[in-house]
Amino acid sequence: DAGVIQSPRHEVTEMGQEVTLRCKPISGHNSLFWYRQTMMRGLELLIYFNNNVPIDDSGMPEDRFSAKMPNASFSTLKIQPSEPRDSAVYFCASSFSSGHRHNEQFFGPGTRLTVL
C-alpha cells in the first residue's frame, strides 16, 4: 500500500515567492495533518482536517499560510509570500479516526523548504 505522498520533496525559493506543498493521504484515512519541523521548535502542528473540513488551524503562523483540502485524497499548504524564517521541513500525516480513540498518524516523507 502506498503511504502518505508529498511533493515536492525539496523546494528552494526566493523570499517573496509563493510556495505550494502538496499531500495525498493514505487511502481510507479521514484525518489529515500538516506539521512543520525545525531544530529549535521541534514538530509543530499547523492545521488538521477531518473529513476534508479544517478542525483546528491555531498552529498556522500567520495569514501568509493557508491550507485546503478539496477532497479526501488531496491537500495543499500554501505560503504567500514566503520568508527565510519559513525554512523548515513540512510533513503531512494522515490517520483514520473512529469513535473517541485518538488514532495513529502516519507521516509522509516531508518537503524540505529553503527560502533564500
CB of 83 to another protein, least distance (A): 24
Q: Within 13 A of 105's CA, how many CA atoms are on the CB side?
A: 16
Tell whether residue 104 is a contact of another protein (CB under 8 A).
Answer: yes
Tell whether residue 38 is a contact of another protein (CB under 8 A).
Answer: no
CB atoms within 10 A of CB 81: 14
d(CA 91, CA 109): 7
Q: Which residue bears the cell 488551524?
A: 57
CB of 81 to another protein, least distance (A): 27
Q: Which residues in this chain contact another protein in the complex, by CB under 8 A?
A: 31, 33, 42-43, 45, 48, 50, 55-56, 91, 95, 97, 100-110
